[in-house]
Amino acid sequence: MKFWMAIVLGLVQGVAEFLPISSSGHLALLEHFFNMEEPDDLFNVLLHFATLIAVCIAYREDIIAMIKEFFRGLAVMFSGPANRTEERPPEARRLVFLVIIGTLPLFLVLPFQDFVEGLAASPAFVSCALIVTGIILFAADRKKDGKKTARTATVQDAVLVGLAQGLATIPGLSRSGTTISAGMALGLNRQFAVRYSFLLSLPAVLGATLLKVIKVIGAGGIDTQVIPMYLTGMVLAGVVGYFAVQLVKLLADKGKFGGFAFYCWALGLAALIAQAILQV
C-alpha cells in the first residue's frame, strides 16, 4: 500500500463513516474504478478504531456517565432489596441498557460475515445499496420529529435499531444513516436518534478491533514498515470523523438530514452508468 492511499482512505473513512453516505460503499467503489489496491483487514479495522475514538471524544460526557452508571447499576443489582432506594434509574444507566440490547442483534450477522463482506466485490450491488440508502434517508427526514428519549425508548425500539445496524453491515448501506433513520421511524426525537446511533457503534467497533488485532498478532505480528502509513490514515480518519459527527448532529437538528439522499442517488446512478459504459 502506498502512502497516498493511506491518506485517501483515511479521509474517506473519516467523512463517510459518520455522514450517512456509507464508508464501505465509497471504499468499494474507489477500489473498483480506480484500481486501488485493497487495504489489508487490519488497516480497515484501525481506521474504524480511529473513528471510534472520534465518537468517544464527541460524546465523552455521555460515555463517562454511562461507565459510572454501569458499575453503579451492578452494585445495585447485587445489593440486597433493602438497599435499593432508587425508584427510577438515571438516564445514563438506562442508556447503557439500551446500547447493550441494541448490540445483541449483531451476533445474528456473524455466521454470514464472509458472505456480506464479499458483496463489496460487486460494484453494481454496492451502487444499488447506495440508492437504497438515499431512499431511507429521504423517507426518514420527512417523518415528523418523535418524542422518545433515553428515558422513554423501549426494549423493542433498541432491538429494531440494532437489527438496522446489523442490516447496515451490507456494503453500500450507511450504518449511521440506517440506524438514525430507524430511530426516527420508531419515534425517537432527532437528537436522541443521532446520539443513540453513534453510541451504539462503540461496542461493535471496539469488539471487531480487538478480535482483528489478536488475530494479526497470532499470525506473526504487524509489519513495522507500514506503521507510519497506518498512523497517518488513523489520524486523518479520527480528526475528520470528529468534525463529521458534529456536522451530522447539526444537520439532523435542523431537519436537513435527507439532503444526503440526493448525493447517494447521484453516486449510485453514476457508478451504475460508469460500469455499463466501461464494462469493468
Could you tell me which residues come within 8 angstroms of residue 112 by beta carbon, excluding any fewer than 6 positions away? none
Q: How many angstroms separate the CA atoms of 177 and 215, rounded?
A: 30
What global pTM score does this model have?
0.90
- Nearest CA to 54 out of 246, 228, 219 is that of 246
Buried b (16+ CB within 10 A) or exposed e, 113-144: eeebeebbebbebbbbbbbbbbebbbebbeee
Give pLDDT tens digits for 71-109.
Answer: 988 887 777 665 555 567 889 999 999 999 999 999 999
Q: What is the pLDDT of residue 86?
A: 59
Angle between helices 60-78 and 190-218 (to 10 degrees): 80
Grid cell of 36 as nine digits: 486501488
Grid cell of 43 as nine digits: 488497516
Query: Is the distance from CB of 222 to CB of 216 less than 8 angstroms?
Result: yes
Give pLDDT tens digits for 25-77.
Answer: 998 998 888 887 777 777 888 888 899 999 999 999 999 999 999 998 888 77
Give pLDDT tens digits for 264-274.
Answer: 999 999 999 99
Grid cell of 79 as nine digits: 445489593
- Nearest CA to 143 out of 175, 181, 178, 179 is that of 181
Grid cell of 250 as nine digits: 447539526
Give pLDDT tens digits for 177-234.
Answer: 999 999 999 999 989 999 999 999 999 888 877 877 777 666 666 667 788 888 999 9
